[in-house]
């Protein structure tokens, strides 16, 4: 009977108020102390997801949804609005992804811009024309809260790879369309900066080393003036250093892992890089690609606990206010036990078992991301 009352109290307090749960239920402060069964932990996770705003900051779903008959080299169908609903996931940043082409060629740049612009418009039309009953596009943090109250899935627009950015005016157009972050590069160099897989034997841009180009510095400045968040996943360590010198508002890494736990992954973040991002009040959203997460385990054994190790590493290093989730679903993401959006609560259960509090989980699932987004909105407001 005592056990049932404790569980009921935890659920009640979490539903009504995180603060209330933390103040009035000492036994609930660290839910791991409850020693619950798996079913009871899942019930607690359900309650948390009902009141938290939960975000995945990186899915590569738009291309698949709009072009289901295309040829793809990774698993697809990991994210849909129905799967999100079942997993208690409110929103996602849906990326328009571009392979890197010859950025020194104007024709190639024009082609990249035109394709990206077209795909963005197609995706917006798809959401508004065919999915308006179940989802809506968020153009601001205020839209996020409104859509949550309406019970709709939240769609946020983003671009993975700055390759289509030919001019600063292109950024103005992407901002007008509602793009809320741009990943500056995708592993390899472009006109903005070098990527995480650069070749050490040459400098990709004259007199720049492997960091931001002169144009890239202007891109970062203009993005922040427009309220487009700067995404530092996939870029080189040198470029990250340069970005942090230029910015006036926080940045995010939309889907990255910890190099301390998987040193062989060149685009994972070192502890010093994690500290540097946290120092500007930014956030690291941990990716779920198994290639991010372990050098020791075979692919089929990389599960939710391994993912949680990366999340805990960041929390222990810089605090819970600087970590979230960016799965990379439909782009190579997924671990055993959390291979699609319907299984998101399995991660919440794992973190509860590790002693994460309600306040920390609220921040992890969306509060941290929304803080960074709002800070970027506030900074951009002075340029309107």
pLDDT per residue as tens digits for the range 272-285: 999 999 999 999 99
* Stretch 77-105: mean pLDDT: 92
pLDDT of residue 25: 32
User: What percentage of the chain carries pLDDT values higher than 90?
Assistant: 75
Map tokens 């849906």 to a residue: 94
Per-residue pLDDT at 232 exceeds 80: yes
CA distance 141 to 21: 26
User: Residue 140: which pLDDT band, with cuts at 50, 70 and 90?
Assistant: very high
CB-based contact 61:329 (threshold 8 Å): yes
- DSSP, collapsed to helix, strand or coil, labels residue 121 as helix
Can you give the pLDDT at residue 206? Answer: 52
**Do residues 59 and 334 touch, judged by C-beta distance below 8 A?**
no
- pLDDT tens by residue, 315-367: 999 999 999 999 999 889 999 999 999 999 999 999 999 999 999 999 999 99
Q: What is the mean pLDDT of residues 2-10?
A: 46
Top pLDDT among 37 and 4 is at 37
Mean pLDDT, residues 173-189? 94
Quote the pLDDT of residue 182: 98
Bigger pLDDT: 163 or 197?
A: 163
Phi and psi at residue 342, to the nearest 5°: -70, -15
Phi-psi region of 329 (alpha: psi -120 to 50; beta: other; left: phi over 0): beta
Q: If you count them, how many residues does the chain have?
A: 384
Would the pLDDT of 199 be above 80?
A: no
pLDDT classification of 210: cutoffs 50, 70, 90: confident
Residues 6+ apart with CB under 8 A from 102: 108
- Using pLDDT thresholds of 50, 70 and 90, give the confidence band for residue 34: low
Give the dihedral sign, CA 211/213/217/220: negative
Tokens at 201, concatenated: 């034997």
pLDDT(179) > 70: yes
Predicted confidence band of residue 205 (pLDDT cuts 50, 70, 90): low
Backbone angles phi, psi at 17, to 5 degrees: -165, 125
Q: Which tokens is 357 given?
A: 């509090």
Whether 156 contacts 285, CB under 8 Å: no
Mean pLDDT across 163-184: 97
Is the distance from CB of 286 to CB of 252 less than 8 angstroms?
no
Say whether pLDDT at 188 is over 60: yes
CA distance 200 to 197: 9
Q: Which CATH class is domain 2-381?
A: alpha beta
| Nearest of 261, 323, 326, 252 to residue 289 by alpha carbon | 326
Which range, 290-294, 297-301, 302-306, is most confident?
302-306
Which H or E element spans position 46? helix 38-51
Q: How far apart are CA 203 and CA 189, in angstroms?
A: 10
Who wins on pLDDT, 209 or 107? Answer: 107
- The closest of 60, 173, 82 to 131, measured between CA atoms, is 82
Share the mean pLDDT of the chain: 89
């Amino acid at each position: 009977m005592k056990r049932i009352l404790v569980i009921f109290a935890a659920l009640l307090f979490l539903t009504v108020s995180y603060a209330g749960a933390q103040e009035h239920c000492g036994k609930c402060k660290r839910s791991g102390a409850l020693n619950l069964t798996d079913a009871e932990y899942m019930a607690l996770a359900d309650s948390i997801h009902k009141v938290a705003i939960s975000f995945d900051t990186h899915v590569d779903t738009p291309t698949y949804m709009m072009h289901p008959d295309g040829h793809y080299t990774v698993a697809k169908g990991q994210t849909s609005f129905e799967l999100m609903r079942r997993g208690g996931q409110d929103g996602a940043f849906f990326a328009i992804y571009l392979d890197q082409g010859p950025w020194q060629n104007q024709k190639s740049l024009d082609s990249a811009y035109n394709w990206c612009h077209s795909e963005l418009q197609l995706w917006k039309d798809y959401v508004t024309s065919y999915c308006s009953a179940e989802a809506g596009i968020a153009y601001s943090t205020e839209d996020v809260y409104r859509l949550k109250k309406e019970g709709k899935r939240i769609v946020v627009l983003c671009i993975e790879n700055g390759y289509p950015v030919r001019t600063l005016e292109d950024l103005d157009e992407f901002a007008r369309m509602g793009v809320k972050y741009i990943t500056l590069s995708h592993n390899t160099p472009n006109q903005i900066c070098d990527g995480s897989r650069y070749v050490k034997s040459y400098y990709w841009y004259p007199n720049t080393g492997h960091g931001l180009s002169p144009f890239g510095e202007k891109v970062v400045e203009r993005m922040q003036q427009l309220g487009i968040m700067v995404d530092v996943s996939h870029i080189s360590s040198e470029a990250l250093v340069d970005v942090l010198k230029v910015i006036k508002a926080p940045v995010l890494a939309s889907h990255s892992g910890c190099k301390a736990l998987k040193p062989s992954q060149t685009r994972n973040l070192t502890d010093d890089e994690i500290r540097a991002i946290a120092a500007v009040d930014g956030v690291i959203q941990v990716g779920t690609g198994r290639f991010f997460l372990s050098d020791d385990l075979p692919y089929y054994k990389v599960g939710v606990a391994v993912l949680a190790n990366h999340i805990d590493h960041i929390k222990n290093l810089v605090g819970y206010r600087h970590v979230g989730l960016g799965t990379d679903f439909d782009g190579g993401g997924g671990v055993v036990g959390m291979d699609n959006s319907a299984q998101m609560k399995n991660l919440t259960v794992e973190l509860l078992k590790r002693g994460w509090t309600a306040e920390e989980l609220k921040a992890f699932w969306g509060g941290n991301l929304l803080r960074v987004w709002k800070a970027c909105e506030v900074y951009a407001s002075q340029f309107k």
